Structure 1
Amino acid sequence: MINYFTAMLERNLFMMTAHLSQTDARLGLLCQWIEQTLGSVTRVSAISGDASFRRYFRFVLNSGQRVIGVDAPPEYEDVQAFVKVQQLLKSLDVRVPDLYAGDVMQGFLALEDLGDATLFSVLSEDNVHHWYELALRMAATMASARPDQALPPYDVTLLDREMQLFIDWLLERHLELRLSCREKNWLYDHFERLKQIIAVQTVGLVHRDFHARNLMVVDHKTLATIDFQDAVIGPVTYDLVSLIKDCYVQWPQTLRDRWCDAFREQLKAKGVTVPSQEEFLYWTDTMGIQRHLKAAGIFARLWHRDGKPGYLKDIPRTLSYIEQAGARHDAWRTLGEWVQDVVQPRLAEVQEQS
C-alpha cells in the first residue's frame, strides 16, 4: 500500500548516487539500473514504502517522463509474482501500472507513475458512491475471473497462518495477554468455524489487499489498483470486505450492506454462483472477521518487528468490524463480545501507556 504523500527530495542524480553509494547501496544500484535501462535521470524523489520490505522512488527522466522505481530485496520479496499478476490483471482489462522494465535477480522494477491521488485521499461523503461503484466493478471483474495462469490457493494453511498473527502479535506480544490453553482452544474453535464458512464460498481471483489506499485515481476519472502481487484464488467476498470494511476508513453499515448487495448482483450478472442475499451477507461478514483478525495482528507486528508504529491507531477500527459482525450474527456473538469486553479495553490501556 503505497503512500504517495511524501515530501520531494529532488537532487542532482550524480550527487544523489554518490551519497547513496555510502549510505544505501541498493538505492544507488536502483538509480544506476534506471539510467541504464530507461535513460538519463534528472531528479529522484523518495516515496514512503508500504507494509513490506519494498521501497518506492519517483524518477524523472531527462525526457520528462516520470517512472516509479521499486526496490524489492530478493531475499524478502518476489518481483516475479508482481509481474505475473500485473500481466494477468491487464488481460482482464483491470487498470494497473504499466511495467516498463524489471530485473528479477536484483529485485528492481520500473513502473508507470500513476500520480499522487490515492482513492483514500479524495474520498468524501459526497463522492464515495461514485468511486465505490467503480471499485466494486473492478472487484467483480477480478472475482469472476477464472485465470489460466496458476495462482496460489487461499487454502487452510494460509488462513491458519494469518489468524495466528492475531494471537502471536496482537494478543500476546502487543497486549501482553497470557491466554490459557482453554482460552486458546476457544479461539481456535472459532477459527475452525470461520474456515468452514469460508470453504463453501465460490472462488475467484482475489487481489488480497483491495482497499482505498491501494486504489489510485487516474486523470480524475478512473481507478487503477496497485500492490496486487499477493493475489490468490480464493473466496469471492474477500476483496469486497477489504473495500467496504476498510481498516483505514469506516462507512455506515447501511451503506456497506447496500454495496454488498450491489456486488452480489454484479457477480450474478457475470455468471458467478452466489447464494441468497442474506447468506451472501453472512459470507461477507464471516470473511471480514478472518481478514480483520489477520490485519490487527499484522498492524501489531509492523510495530514490534519492523519498527512501524503508524498502523497501531487503526487497530481499534479494525477490531470494531468484528464486534459489529458479532452483534448481527449469533454464530459470532461471543467472539464479538469478547473483542469488545476484553481486547478493546486492554488495547486502550496499552495505547494510553505508550
Structure 2
Amino acid sequence: MPEADTTSRQSALRRWAAERHGIAPDALDLRLAADDASFRRYFRLTLADGTRRILMDAPPDKEDSAPFVAIARRWADAGLPVPHLHEVDLDAGFLEIEDLGDTPLQHCFEASEAPTTLAWHDRALTLLDALQNRADPQGLPAYDADLLGRELDLFTTWCLDRWLALAAPPSWPALRQRLIDTALAQPVVTVHRDFDAMNLMVVDDALYLIDFQDAVAGPLSYDLVSLLHGRYCRFPASRRRAWIEAFRQRAMTDGRLSDIEPSRFHHWVACMAAQRAIKVIGIFCRLTLRDGRQGYLARLPHFLDHLEDDLAELDEFTDFRVWVADILRPALLARLEAQGVAWESVA
C-alpha cells in the first residue's frame, strides 16, 4: 500500500477508535503491532485503565473482513478459542478485537526434537481435533479442484516462470493432477488453511486460533501437514509418522475418518504435504515479486526441504523428486546467492 494511503488509513483508524472510546484522537495510545502477508495491519490500543485491544485495519477495497467476522462468531459459539470481537465496522474495514498478547506458539519452541517443542505440538494437535470436530464446514468455500489447481499453479507461474525462468519437468502435469485427486479423496472437514505456529497464540498456557478468515471446507489432512511441515520446525520422518498415525486413530475413533489402512492414510498425508509445500514456494515468490514483500525468499530452502521429505515417501513421483534434487534445488540456491539472500536455517 502506498505510504500516503497507509497514513490516511491510520488516521482514519485513530479517529474511529477515539470516537468509540470517547478519547481525543491525539491522546490515543495506538501502536503498530504487526503487518500481515496481505493488506491487513494490526495496531495495539492501550486504554487509560491499562486495558489493551487489537485494532485490525483491513482496507475494504482490498480485504473482505466479513469471513473473519462470521467465522469468529461461529467458532466462538462452538466453544473454540478465538479472539472476542468488541466492535466491527465492515464498511470502514476496522475491527476492534481481543488482545491475545505477544506470544505466538513459535516463541515457545526450542530445537525441533526438544521436549518442550514436542509437547506444544501435541497440544496444537489436540486443538486441531477440537476444530475439526466442533466447527461445521457447511457454508465455507469449498477446497475444490479449481482452488487446489490454482494454488499449485502459483509454483509454475511465480517460482519457475517469473523468478527462475525454469521450465517445469515433463512429470509436472501428472503430479499436479494426482495431488488434486488425492486431496479430493479425503473426508471434508473445516480447514483453517494456515494452521501453523504463527497463527496459534499462547495465552496463559492455552492456545487460541487467529488468522482464520481463509478457512475452507476441505481435506482432513491439510491442517495436520500445515503444523507438522510448518515454517519453524523440520521433524524426522519417524516423528511425523508417529503423530500422523496417532491422528489417524483419533479420527477413526471420533468419526472424522472411516476405517482406513495406515499406508493409505499416510499416502494421503504425504501428497497433501507435497501440495502445500509446492503452493507455499509459489506464494513466497509471488509475495516477493508482485507485492514487494521482504523476507520470504529466505524461507524457500526450508520449504524445499519439506518438499523433498514429502516426495521421499511417494515412490510414484520419483521423476519429479529427481528433478527437484538435480534441477530445482541448484537453480533456487544459485538465484538466492546471486540476490544476496541469506536463507533461514531450522534446527
Normalised TM-score (structure 1)? 0.89
Are positions 1:33 and 2:19 aligned together? Answer: no
Tell me how far 1:38 sits from its aligned partner. 3.7
> 2:295 aligned to 284, 287, 310, which one?
310
Q: Which residue type is aligned with residue 225 of structure 1?
A: L
Query: What per-residue deviation string (whole Å, max 9, x for no partner) do you get for residues 42-94 of structure 1?
Result: 41111231211111111101232101111111111111000111112212322
Query: What per-residue deviation string (whole Å, max 9, x for no partner) do you get for residues 206-257 of structure 1?
Result: 00000011111101x1111111000000001000000001033222222211
Question: Gaps (5+ residues) in structure 1?
Answer: 1-19
How do 1:77-96 and structure 2 match up within 5 A? Answer: 77-96=63-82
Tell me how far 1:149 sits from its aligned partner. 4.8
Tell me how far 1:267 sits from its aligned partner. 1.5
Match of 2:165 in 1: 176
Are positions 1:152 and 2:141 aligned together? Answer: yes
Identity of aligned residues (%): 38
How do 1:235-246 and structure 2 match up within 5 A? Answer: 235-246=219-230
Question: What's the secondary structure of 1:246's corresponding residue?
Answer: coil
Tell me how far 1:333 sits from its aligned partner. 2.2
Match of 1:58 in 2: 44
Q: Which residue type is aligned with residue 232 of structure 2?
A: Y
Contact preservation (8 Å) 1:92, 1:141: no
Match of 2:241 in 1: 257
Q: Which residue type is aligned with residue 65 of structure 2?
A: V
Give aligned pairs, total: 330
Q: Which residue type is aligned with residue 68 of structure 1?
A: I
> Relative to structure 1, is the Cα distance of residues 252 and 22 closer, same or farther in structure 2, using a 3 angstrom cutoff?
closer
Match of 1:110 in 2: 96
> Relative to structure 1, is the Cα distance of residues 122 and 137 closer, same or farther in structure 2, using a 3 angstrom cutoff?
same
Match of 2:335 in 1: 350
Name the Cα RMSD after superposition.
1.8
> 1:297 aligned to 269, 273, 282, which one?
282
Measure the CA separation in 2 of the matches of 1:237 and 1:155.
14
Match of 2:86 in 1: 100
Q: Which residue type is aligned with residue 334 of structure 2?
A: E
> Relative to structure 1, is the Cα distance of residues 340 and 112 closer, same or farther in structure 2, using a 3 angstrom cutoff?
same
Question: What's the secondary structure of 1:100's corresponding residue?
Answer: strand
Tell me how far 1:148 sits from its aligned partner. 7.0
Match of 1:136 in 2: 125
> Relative to structure 1, is the Cα distance of residues 49 and 252 closer, same or farther in structure 2, using a 3 angstrom cutoff?
same
Contact preservation (8 Å) 2:196, 2:227: yes
> Relative to structure 1, is the Cα distance of residues 39 and 114 closer, same or farther in structure 2, using a 3 angstrom cutoff?
farther
Measure the CA separation in 1 of the matches of 2:45 and 2:214.
25
Contact preservation (8 Å) 2:277, 2:304: yes
Match of 1:73 in 2: 59
Q: Which residue type is aligned with residue 237 of structure 1?
A: S
Contact preservation (8 Å) 1:206, 1:231: yes
> Relative to structure 1, is the Cα distance of residues 21 and 200 closer, same or farther in structure 2, using a 3 angstrom cutoff?
closer
Structure 1 segments, 4+ long, off by >4 Å, are: 20-23
Measure the CA separation in 1 of the matches of 2:178 and 2:138.
31
Q: Which residue type is aligned with residue 113 of structure 1?
A: D
Measure the CA separation in 2 of the matches of 1:150 and 1:335.
36
Are positions 1:339 and 2:324 aligned together? Answer: yes
Measure the CA separation in 2 of the matches of 1:167 and 1:213.
27
Q: Which residue type is aligned with residue 25 of structure 1?
A: S
> Relative to structure 1, is the Cα distance of residues 167 and 46 closer, same or farther in structure 2, using a 3 angstrom cutoff?
same
Measure the CA separation in 2 of the matches of 1:277 and 1:315.
30
Q: Which residue type is aligned with residue 40 of structure 2?
A: R
Normalised TM-score (structure 2)? 0.90
Tell me how far 1:114 sits from its aligned partner. 0.5
Contact preservation (8 Å) 1:323, 1:337: no
Contact preservation (8 Å) 2:183, 2:271: yes
Question: What's the secondary structure of 1:188's corresponding residue?
Answer: helix
